[in-house]
Structure 1
Amino acid sequence: MAEQLMPENVELTLDQVLGGRVSLFQPIEGYRAAIDPVLLAASVPASTMTAGGAGRIVDLGCGVGTAGLCLLARLPDVSCLGIDVQPALVDLANRNAAASGLAGRYRAIEGNILDHRRLRDVGPADHVIANPPYLPRGRASVSDHPVKALANVESDAVLADWVAAARAIVAPRGHVTFIHRADRLPELLSLMQECIGGLAILPIQPKPDEPARRVLVRGQRGSRAPSRLLAPVVLHEADGRFTAEAEAVLRAAAALAL
């Protein structure tokens, strides 16, 4: 069993994302969902599912369920299984599914991506999504809050383990999508190219004149198509307002085209 890092009776907030389509109970302290899992969810198209648009998603490191629930709010014929090592977050993810009216299509379970036997029981999935810890261990300041630390900094599982877990779960010809820091793109591409082809890379810039800080990378198991570097998505205008494209994704559940 995983260590329970979040104390009992922790104070929660109830937040609305995706224009109120998704409700999230989450701890008032520690790691809290930002826009990255919303962007990850927006990058998954119905075309990567089985015939007719129906399909099964697995969300690795689901946290409180943000990415999977946002995806289900946009794609009505899809189901999602979330996996997280922290049982308290698994409980919140399932609670959030119920609060969002999505419990019939969403379920979160406790699991460690290093448990290969467990992963074999989870698959196959049409699409695997992941928003792993961004910071490599040993080269980052670790938060004093244990839940936030585990979400932000790699622990026993490093990026190679996350890619291997996605590869173990995804079905033949299925798709895998990661969101990660832009400065770790070379490492992520190297790992994904060993087993996943046809990579599409979408840089995400904070503002028009600033370099990308995040990247979305999607590929297909068994594909031999060449990689593609796409035009960036810009989140904010120069004055700090969300761009029209970002507003549509974050508020109106629009898709991001990869």
Structure 2
Amino acid sequence: MPRWIWAVAKDLTRDDFLGGKLRIFQPRIGYRAGVDPVLLAASIAAKPDQSVLELGCGVGVASLCLCARVPGISVTGVELQDDYAALARQNAVENEADFTVINADLRKLPAHLRQKRFNHVIMNPPYFERAHGVAAHDAGRDVALAGDTPLGDWLDIGARRVGPRGYLTIIQRMERLPEVIAALQGRLGAIVVRPIAGREDRAPELFLLQSRQEGRAAFRMAPTLIMHMGQAHTGDKETYTPHVRAILRDGAELNILP
């Protein structure tokens, strides 16, 4: 019996994304995708017949959200952890998506991937540095939040896979913005950064950054994306702004540079 079948009842949940357009198997305990990969997918201005590579795809949430919004694209995901890669493949089948999952270390990509370049390379790398934190008890969660691959390696490998005039897009914590920009210096250009804040008058905690192969435009900082209405959370109700709600529930596009 395939592992995913016996695991569903005990070890997995099946969660709705994009207002139920997608149903995604995730580990009940371990790393569970939230809104970040959905925002990443929404920010990719892909067109039908284009190719997309996601490094560190997990169970496939970002790639599958992108497939749902842009029919006709071809998406490849690379995932280090065997069980997460298996779930990503199953989620691709369940959601009838053109999404191929490669179980590999991104530092040791298969030869056929090293020889291919993509219109879009996307990533949601671990937010925290291994040297500055304590390992999580769950191995899957630990790899997703910190891992052993330096952020610079993610960006170097991603930049190598971007095709002519193609784009690399990343979502990451704000304190790592200087590190990301430094890693891309001399590699990709036309950098645009869109900060993401929980509420108005709060400092951004995350950012989306997009850069382009052969891009020559000057660095640009886009307006901050505000996630929630009001100054504080009050009561057990959803407080997403209309724009963010449309992204998360309806699969709307998120322009990095409005």
| TM-score where L is the length of structure 2 | 0.90
Q: How many Å apart are 1:134 and its aligned residue? A: 0.7
- SS of 1:58's partner is strand
The answer to whether structure 1 residue 16 and structure 2 residue 16 are counterparts is yes
Pick the aligned partner of 2:249 from 248, 251, 256: 251
For 1:96 and 1:88, how far apart are their aligned partners in 2?
Answer: 12
- SS of 1:249's partner is helix
Q: Find the counterpart in structure 2 of residue 163 from structure 1.
A: 155
Which consecutive segments of 4 or more residues in structure 1 shift more than 2 A? 116-123
- SS of 1:242's partner is coil
For 2:104 and 2:204, how far apart are their aligned partners in 1?
Answer: 32
Which one-letter code corresponds to 2:120 in the other structure?
Answer: H
Contact 1:179 1:216 (8 Å CA) reproduced: yes
For 2:181 and 2:142, how far apart are their aligned partners in 1?
Answer: 25
Contact 1:113 1:119 (8 Å CA) reproduced: no
Q: Percent same amino acid among aligned pairs? A: 34
Q: Find the counterpart in structure 1 of residue 236 from structure 2.
A: none
Q: How many Å apart are 1:248 and its aligned residue? A: 0.6
For 1:65 and 1:199, how far apart are their aligned partners in 2?
Answer: 26
Q: Find the counterpart in structure 1 of residue 177 from structure 2.
A: 185
Q: Find the counterpart in structure 2 of residue 67 from structure 1.
A: 62
For 1:41 and 1:246, how far apart are their aligned partners in 2?
Answer: 13
For 1:118 and 1:140, how far apart are their aligned partners in 2?
Answer: 34
Which one-letter code corresponds to 1:58 in the other structure?
Answer: L
The answer to whether structure 1 residue 99 and structure 2 residue 94 are counterparts is yes
Q: How many Å apart are 1:154 and its aligned residue? A: 3.2
Contact 1:65 1:96 (8 Å CA) reproduced: yes
Q: How many Å apart are 1:107 and its aligned residue? A: 1.1
Aligned length: 244
Q: How many Å apart are 1:121 and its aligned residue? A: 3.4
For 2:109 and 2:57, how far apart are their aligned partners in 1?
Answer: 18
Contact 1:119 1:165 (8 Å CA) reproduced: no
Which one-letter code corresponds to 2:100 in the other structure?
Answer: R
Change (3 A) 1:119 1:206: farther
Q: Find the counterpart in structure 1 of residue 75 from structure 2.
A: 80
Farther-moved stretch of structure 1 (131-140 vs 107-116): 107-116
Change (3 A) 1:122 1:73: farther
For 1:147 and 1:38, how far apart are their aligned partners in 2?
Answer: 20
> Which runs of no fewer than 5 residues in structure 2 stay unpaired?
1-5, 234-238
Q: How many Å apart are 1:194 and its aligned residue? A: 2.6
Q: Find the counterpart in structure 1 of residue 3 from structure 2.
A: none
For 2:133 and 2:112, how far apart are their aligned partners in 1?
Answer: 29
Q: How many Å apart are 1:139 and its aligned residue? A: 0.4
For 1:65 and 1:122, how far apart are their aligned partners in 2?
Answer: 23
CA deviation string 1:37-93 (max 9, x = no partner)? 0000000013xx5xxx42000000000000000001000121100101111111100
Pick the aligned partner of 2:103 from 103, 110, 120: 110
Q: Find the counterpart in structure 2 of residue 43 from structure 1.
A: 43
The answer to whether structure 1 residue 131 and structure 2 residue 124 are counterparts is yes
- SS of 2:106's partner is coil
Which one-letter code corresponds to 1:229 in the other structure?
Answer: M
Q: How many Å apart are 1:120 and its aligned residue? A: 4.5
Q: Find the counterpart in structure 2 of residue 27 from structure 1.
A: 27
For 1:237 and 1:142, how far apart are their aligned partners in 2?
Answer: 34
- SS of 2:132's partner is coil
For 2:109 and 2:240, how far apart are their aligned partners in 1?
Answer: 41
Q: Find the counterpart in structure 2 of residue 3 from structure 1.
A: none
> Which runs of no fewer than 5 residues in structure 1 stay unpaired?
1-7
Q: How many Å apart are 1:123 and its aligned residue? A: 2.2
Which one-letter code corresponds to 2:28 in the other structure?
Answer: I
